[in-house]
């Protein structure tokens, strides 16, 4: 599933190809995504210029002259920049045709992705309005993490993956951040010390930064905007490394199941 780094990598990949370009049309070959692509959308956006390509949580925002496209990659979606006229393949559902001779193609085998358009301030859109802070927001710091962990007995890893408290920390990055912060995934959130909360806030940002620089993590069906797989996988410390030696202390990495997701940790490095 594309997580925050993959979406940010996609944003960076497509940005130079879409900025300042005018939308010729939108070809919707399969409108039945997670939500139906609104009818008449092509007519609404044709002729508008792409002013900005931004991201909020896992939504890509293409800000046009008079409105904003909100694109979500869902479980298996990808956006790629291709030459106009490139034949469509299986699961290629939407093409945004630009005046540059290129198009932005949305492929999504499982169709959990979505495409919305709003002429209002996108931050007030129902899909975005109630999202928690991003790990890179100034609000998200040691204090914030400290506050949200108080009186919460839920496991710290589950808390990190709760998008009502923080967005964009999926399973891979929660495991990796906890390793870097030297905290075991099953620890009760409220048991974190002030110092651990500080280490963890830093670790989350560090892990996501490294992943974005590496172009995301390649897992099954994720492909970056230019079709290249991400290279973060080679930098993982614990994720899917059960039984393999810890990269720091050589102790075998352990795997456990938490809330139907796998967690990985080093029993020596993490307390
Ligand atoms: Zn270790």
pLDDT digits (tens, 9 = 90+) for 106-156: 999 999 999 999 999 999 999 999 899 999 999 999 999 999 999 999 999
Say if residue 44's pLDDT is above 50.
Answer: yes
Which 3 state secondary structure label does DSSP give 240? Answer: coil
Give 238 Cα–ligand 1 centroid separation in angstroms.
9
Residues 59, 204 contacting (CB under 8 angstroms): no
- Residue 268 Cα to ligand 1 midpoint, Å, equals 5
DSSP at 194? H
Q: What spacing in Å lies between the alpha carbon of 56 and ligand 1's midpoint?
A: 34
pTM, full prediction: 0.84
Residue positions annotated with a catalytic role: 2-3, 58, 261
Q: Tell me the average pLDDT across 174-194.
A: 97
Cα of 19 from ligand 1 centre, angstroms: 45
Is the confidence at residue 220, as pLDDT, over 50? no
- Number of Cβ within 10 Å of residue 204's Cβ equals 25
Give exposure, 23-62, as e/b (b: 16+ Cβ within 10 Å). bbbbebeeeebeeebeeebbebbeebbbeebebbbbbbbb
Q: Which of 115, 23, 5, 130 is nearest to 66 (CA)?
A: 23
Protein residues with C-beta less than 5 angstroms from the ion ligand 1: 246, 248-249, 251, 266, 268-269
HSE at residue 200, side-chain half, CA atoms within 13 A, is 30
CB 117 within 8 A of CB 65: no
Q: Average pLDDT of the chain?
A: 92
- pLDDT confidence bin for 219, thresholds 50/70/90: very low
Give the pLDDT confidence of 230-271 residue by residue, as tens digits. Answer: 556 778 999 999 999 999 999 999 999 998 999 999 999 999
CB 23 within 8 A of CB 48: yes
Provide the pLDDT confidence category of residue 9 given band limits of 50, 70 and 90: confident
Confidence of residue 217 (pLDDT cuts 50, 70, 90): low
Query: Ligand 1 centre from 172 Cα, in Å?
Result: 17
- The mean pLDDT value for 63-75 works out to 96
Between 213 and 125, whose confidence is greater?
125
């Amino acid at each position: 599933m594309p997580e925050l780094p993959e979406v940010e990598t996609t944003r960076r990949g497509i940005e130079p190809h879409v900025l300042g370009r005018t939308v010729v049309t939108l070809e919707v070959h399969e409108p039945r995504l997670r939500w139906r692509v609104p009818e008449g959308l092509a007519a609404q956006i044709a002729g508008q210029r792409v002013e900005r390509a931004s991201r909020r949580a896992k939504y890509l925002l293409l800000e046009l002259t008079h409105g904003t496209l909100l694109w979500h990659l869902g479980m298996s979606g990808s956006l790629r920049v291709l030459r106009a006229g490139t034949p469509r393949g299986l699961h290629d559902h939407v093409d945004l045709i630009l005046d540059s001779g290129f198009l932005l193609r949305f492929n999504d085998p499982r169709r959990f992705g979505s495409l919305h358009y709003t002429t209002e301030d996108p931050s007030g859109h129902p899909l975005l309005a109630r999202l928690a802070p991003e790990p890179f927001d100034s609000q998200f710091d040691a204090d914030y993490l400290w506050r949200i962990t108080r009186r919460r007995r839920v496991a710290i890893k589950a808390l990190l993956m709760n998008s009502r408290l923080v967005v964009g920390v999926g399973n891979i990055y929660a495991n990796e951040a906890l390793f870097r912060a030297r905290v075991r995934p099953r620890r009760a959130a409220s048991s974190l010390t002030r110092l651990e909360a500080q280490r963890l806030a830093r670790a989350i940002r560090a892990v996501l930064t490294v992943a974005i620089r590496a172009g995301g993590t390649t897992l099954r069906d994720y492909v970056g905007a230019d079709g290249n797989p991400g290279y973060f996988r080679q930098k993982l410390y614990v994720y899917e490394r059960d039984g393999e030696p810890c990269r720091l202390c050589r102790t075998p990495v352990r795997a456990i199941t938490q809330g139907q997701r796998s967690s990985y940790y080093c029993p020596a490095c993490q307390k």
